[in-house]
Structure 1
Amino acid sequence: MVKNALRGIAADLRALGGSAPLRAAYEASKRTGFHAVLFRAETRRHHPAAPVALTNLLPLGDEARQRCLDDAGRVLHDGLRVFGGRVTTGVSTPWCTDPLTGRQWPAGEPWWRIDIRSEARLSDVKHIWEAARHRDLVVLSRAARLDTDGPWQDGLNDLLRSWCDECPPEQGVNWYSSLELALRAIAWNQILTLVGERLPHDVASAMDRLLLASARHLMVELPYTVSSMRNNHMLGDALGLILLSRMYPTAPRARWWARTGERMFATQQRRHFGPDGRMIEDSVSYHRFVLEMLTVRMLLGGAPSSVRRDLRAASLHLARLGVFDGDVPQYGDWDEGRVLASSGDPLDVSGSTALGLALCGERLPARWYAEFDELAWYAPAPDTTVDEVTWSLPARSSATTSGGIAVVDRGPWRVWFKVDGGASHGHADLTSVWITHNGRWLIADPGTGTYNGPLEVRNGLRTSAAHPVRRPDGQDQLVPHRAFRWLHAGRGHLGPPLDLPDRTILFGWHDAYERGERPVRVGRAVVVADEYVAIVEFADPQAAVGSWSLTVPLHPDVAVRNDTLVAGESKLHLFGLDGHEAVRGRSAPFAGWHSRTYGRWEPATWITAESRDDTVVWGLGTVAGPRPEPDALDGLGFEVTWSDSGASLAVTHLASGTVHHVRAPR
């Protein structure tokens, strides 16, 4: 047991890196009681808020108005929206009520004494935090602004008053995370903007007290943030400080909050974004989350030009992935995290993308302002004096690339090839291939499941065994450590698409297995034709491993009949995976599941296969063929040349001898 404990400490130190001493001091403060000194309550004079206009007072369009009123009715009648459902937390039960168990988190206990991580914890804290972000209270404020005679204002007053009474500063689980305080401040600022003059005096005064306490908490928590949260948390905490300095400009420390927030935001922004729109957040959900943080920074005013630059690039990245054309793979962690309030589909990311484009000066179709709450409530009104406009990406071939991901549209197929990843909230999914046929999912990312729930579920959905990637000797690409960290890193390298008259070919490779006793590099070519999608597997050096494992996670709506996949009216033939097995809804070991949103999972078929061959060709087709052979497929030959500087794929047309090269440098 001692040896395991030491091994765990060593892994923690390796995962934390140079920030380990600061994190250790922080943890010591919690355990010795010094946190009680750091977070002692202050009795300074309260300052009335001067809310910043982040939201429109009225929506742009009647559709958004009706969506808001309908949603507000559900808030009062059914409860707050949490991960695809409605909960009574705060509405008819105390704010400390856990939606999963119905039990209550300690209400009068300092937050640092509450266990949210060990096996002895009450529940998954994400569920109560989601309710406590108060985006639904923004919806009620909008409804109260739209319909002054409705029940919305009274319902809002009751919710705010109960919150302020039940959640005093630094008490209870809802004060545990600085990011939650920052997000709640953004929501409360909108509430004050929309209906501040109609709030009872005692409620408004209590809100001021808690908001000022939130600013102090954000400052005191900086050692934890900078040592352990160099991702969206640092951006969110910084954004909270910037906003609170604007809301309370006469507070004694307001300038300090502003300087600290701006410096933190700029520092994290430099490490967070790439020029092609990618982020260190290797997740569609968290890409949207941070995109909305950039949006709020723009709406606050006075943003550096780099914020607009990164907002535009990050929005275009999602557009290139196809968010305006339908569903996209739910890769990486997904938890419906939002900064903005919307009464639309919580799984949609196109509205936030559209808002980012609008704030960067793009002219968008008028119907988008009716369709997306993000535009209706946060965007400047479009110029109605000009003719109707359309918006699309610049003309391209059947394939496009963005942020280490290639997307192909050819015939009935849409294919995503994710070669690279990021350091935060990503899964072990380098070189994953996801496929739709006639708009229906076939091979789909399995989703997230949970962060703080059973570890077998958490790791069962984020490791390589849950993704359509090859695994030498059954290894994981990254190897999980605790709920969020990885013991190893890997980088993927994607070449430019090869667009032939009858096929589109993608090529990429990764170095995640360049470790251990038998290091190997793994590459893939993805061939998309009108009749099939095929994957050609490569390894360097060949015969470096004993066997290869592969999982092909299918969407829950796909049925499997021998070698045929059935999705709606489509029937696709699986080829090249002789002797494969299918698993669906297995608990031990956890396999054969799909999670559409956080905290939920349902059975789905995973196809698993084993092989001792370094080169394998497999895929899906509308007909029984093509017959794959090693290094060849449907009249094309494939050969990879490996070097220290990267890899190059040679595609040879066997009949004519014509050779095309696709290079993917390191």
Structure 2
Amino acid sequence: MHTTYGQEEPDVLSFRHAVPKTVLLLLSVGAIPAAEEVDRTAGGLAVLLDRLTPEGLKALGVSPDALKPDGRELAEKILRPLAEGRGPLKPEQVEGEAKKWAASKDRLEALLKHRVSLLGGYPEQDLGKPIDWFRAPSGDLQWPTHLSRHYWLKPLACAWRATRDPKYSGAVIEVLLDWTRRTPLGAKDLQWGAKKSAGEGLPATAEGYFKGYCDGPWTSLSAHARVDYWSELLQLVWDAPQMTNANAAVLLESLVGDHRAMMLNHDRWGTANQFIAIAASLIRLSFWYPDFKDVAQAEKVGWERAMRFATAQVYPDGSMAECSPNYAVGSLMRLFDLLVEGQARGRAIPEGLKERVRLGMRYFVLLSDPAGRLPRIAKGREPARGQVRQINAIFGDPDAAWYASEGRESRPPATLCQLFPWAGHAVLRSGWDAQATWLFFEPGPRGSGHHDQAQLNVQLIANGEWLLTDPGYFSYSSAGEDGRMSAYLKTSAAHNVALVDGEGQLSCAPGVRMGPNEKPGEYAWSDTGEACSVSGAYAYGFGKGGGIKVTHRRRVTYDKKRDAFEIADTFEGAGKHRIDLHWQCPPKAKVTTGESSATIAMPRAQLELAFEAPRKPELTVHQGEKTPLRGWFSETYGKLEPAPTIRLSIEGDLPLTVTSRLRIERRAAK
């Protein structure tokens, strides 16, 4: 049974803004209460009109001098085309979602009262009036980061489309304007990085983070998210009575001005999924708002970045620089969506982009476990069938068709064991049926993006049971017990790797920034038909700055006939060291240990581990311990439960080798 760790009574950190006492008159027909804040509509129309192309100005149908703040020309000429086929949502999407959300009365009433639930791991939060944009349940600053992206307003916008009740559209526009007024570029309560400009004539901008956190309302990642989500909202409420020229100008100026500049100036190359997301939003600014002068250049830069991503972050073997398949498959879908949207809008697609999408699709097919899920690195463990189905519609790959249809179409892939040398990922499997044995091995460096400190980690499934697990990703929090647990689950101690003298791995070599691999790795891959073997090495040292100069080499061999594995761990260095090898078990596992053996028992499969070492090791089992943290597992965000960790400890002079022999016993389901 799952328990919620540390969140029954969330500790809410609230950092409220001081609001200057200048009244902003909202020129609207609907009932939007006035807010005490600096008037951002002053001159807003003039600034926005200066950004329009001559064709855009002409389309308004009135001279700039005749444009009134309470008029609706911007809604009719700039926003209406979003609803007529230009925007992000298809008409059938709008109709279906509008009906669905109009029937969700309780959810709508909660949102009208500023009660919001985000990320799935916390109770509904009362944001107050005015909204507390810095509210952080349990110190989790990812929560207000997501709050500032405003996707949670979509049910209200859909309710407007279904009911035409102006209270719904008014609430959406009120919240967007409130955020724009109270969280501008340079807001004093944020932590601002170094200013950068991507080119001549582009104003320099600094990213705005929550203090002590890696993200916030004014990073280029958040800017990308708002370009996408605001455009959906504007498509849904374009014809609302509150969408006056004055209000539309504030939102449009923010999108094509501040948001565009932030995304151009800060590309986030070091985090693959963020880089391609920002590139896609730069392109879509031109798709959705072609009447503005600067969006064509933004689109050009976006396509250049998309192709850079396709060639450097999607490797030649289809594997990806983004370590976590959870984020990698999302990144590939962004590339695919750009391919489809670009072709539909008559754009010339960069040469080679389509082929990298195909290769990436095959990577996810061949990586999948017997239930069709992707391996979990940092996050994830969900199937990619829906994504593969969409991509394969333009490729017709038989392996992808079999995977996406859950075996109803085509035939299973001929390949069983597979190495992806660019990312350094290996899959060893007995077959493609749901009861097959499947081992995922990560001998490669961490690449870019989301990761954990667990190079050489293994995960094992047999007969439908997860026998050696990944611990998951509990929370984004960096404060208190939740923050401590979140940090622990990323460490070597929580994975199926080794500690040396009680210390874990580094993410990358000291002094080196993470990024895409420049060439494939050497992993001594061998597949004879009867056995398959693959090796890797972690060589960055252990502990702070890699100060413990020990190299860990791991060789995994799969005996296909016996359905058994041998894992040889060799530690090289000078002097005497303590080695702790960890084996992370699922929460429901029954674990027993002998002198040099251990058993992990699940209802449908049992894993027997026999250890061979130069001297007798010490075997212990740790579960749900808090000082120090040992033996924890998070199935989904915000959920935590104790889970057994087998710890093999041995001390001696290096080099030292520990060999673990893994035998699987299948059981009939009870």
TM range (shorter): 0.5 to 0.7
Partner of 1:45: 48
Q: Deviations over 1:322-370 (max 9, x none)?
A: 16833333113x3x7xxxxxxxxx955432333233355558879969x
Partner of 2:388: 353
Deviation at 1:57, TM superposition (A): 2.5
Deviation at 1:134, TM superposition (A): 4.4
Q: Is it true that 1:258 corresponds to 2:286 in the alignment? A: no
CA change 1:306–1:523 in 2 (3 A) is: same
Deviation at 1:294, TM superposition (A): 1.3
The whole-number CA distance in structure 2 between the counterparts of 1:157 and 1:529 is 61
Q: Is it true that 1:128 corresponds to 2:144 in the alignment? A: yes
Partner of 1:448: 473
Partner of 1:161: 173
CA change 1:590–1:367 in 2 (3 A) is: closer
The whole-number CA distance in structure 2 between the counterparts of 1:53 and 1:366 is 33
Partner of 1:510: 537
Deviation at 1:286, TM superposition (A): 1.6
Deviation at 1:154, TM superposition (A): 6.4
Q: How many corresponding residue pairs?
A: 526
The whole-number CA distance in structure 2 between the counterparts of 1:97 and 1:219 is 22
Deviation at 1:550, TM superposition (A): 1.0
For the 8 Å contact 1:138–1:188, the answer to whether it is kept is no
Q: Secondary structure at the match of 1:415?
A: strand
Letter matched to residue 505 of structure 1: C
Partner of 1:558: 589
Q: Deviations over 1:101-149 (max 9, x none)?
A: 3xxxxxxxxxxxxxxxxxxxx932212333444445556767877xx46
For the 8 Å contact 2:473–2:489, the answer to whether it is kept is yes
Letter matched to residue 180 of structure 1: S
Q: Is it true that 1:439 corresponds to 2:464 in the alignment? A: yes
For the 8 Å contact 1:323–1:349, the answer to whether it is kept is no
Q: Secondary structure at the match of 1:245?
A: helix
CA change 1:71–1:126 in 2 (3 A) is: farther
Q: Deviations over 1:527-553 (max 9, x none)?
A: 255665433324375877633221111
For the 8 Å contact 2:569–2:659, the answer to whether it is kept is no
For the 8 Å contact 2:166–2:241, the answer to whether it is kept is no
Alignment match of 2:119 (pick from 80, 83, 87) = 83
Deviation at 1:594, TM superposition (A): 1.6
CA change 1:476–1:283 in 2 (3 A) is: same
Q: Is it true that 1:466 corresponds to 2:494 in the alignment? A: yes
Q: How does 1:377-456 map to 2 (within 5 A)?
A: 390=409, 394-396=413-415, 398-402=416-420, 403-410=423-430, 412-420=436-444, 421-454=446-479, 456=484
For the 8 Å contact 2:474–2:486, the answer to whether it is kept is yes
CA change 1:310–1:537 in 2 (3 A) is: same
CA change 1:317–1:623 in 2 (3 A) is: closer
Q: Secondary structure at the match of 1:462?
A: coil
Q: Is it true that 1:295 corresponds to 2:336 in the alignment? A: yes
The whole-number CA distance in structure 2 between the counterparts of 1:392 and 1:78 is 49
Partner of 1:117: none
The whole-number CA distance in structure 2 between the counterparts of 1:77 and 1:406 is 50
Alignment match of 2:643 (pick from 604, 614, 619) = 604
Partner of 2:568: 537
Q: Secondary structure at the match of 2:374?
A: coil
CA change 1:478–1:409 in 2 (3 A) is: same
CA change 1:519–1:218 in 2 (3 A) is: same
Q: Which has the larger radius of gyration?
A: 2
Deviation at 1:183, TM superposition (A): 1.8
Partner of 2:525: 496
Deviation at 1:283, TM superposition (A): 0.8
Letter matched to residue 584 of structure 1: Q
The whole-number CA distance in structure 2 between the counterparts of 1:238 and 1:618 is 46
Letter matched to residue 416 of structure 1: F
CA change 1:182–1:323 in 2 (3 A) is: farther
Partner of 2:288: 247
Identity %: 20
Deviation at 1:561, TM superposition (A): 3.4
Alignment match of 1:570 (pick from 599, 605, 608) = 605
Deviation at 1:445, TM superposition (A): 0.8
The whole-number CA distance in structure 2 between the counterparts of 1:178 and 1:582 is 44
CA change 1:295–1:229 in 2 (3 A) is: same
Partner of 1:649: none
Q: Secondary structure at the match of 2:146?
A: helix
For the 8 Å contact 2:555–2:569, the answer to whether it is kept is yes
Long gaps (5+) in structure 2 = 1-37, 50-73, 188-209, 211-215
Q: Secondary structure at the match of 2:91?
A: coil
Long gaps (5+) in structure 1 = 1-35, 102-121, 337-345, 372-387, 625-666
The whole-number CA distance in structure 2 between the counterparts of 1:249 and 1:509 is 50
Q: Secondary structure at the match of 2:321?
A: coil
The whole-number CA distance in structure 2 between the counterparts of 1:360 and 1:617 is 44
For the 8 Å contact 1:428–1:477, the answer to whether it is kept is yes
Q: Secondary structure at the match of 1:304?
A: coil
Deviation at 1:41, TM superposition (A): 9.0
TM-score between the two structures when normalised by the length of structure 1: 0.67
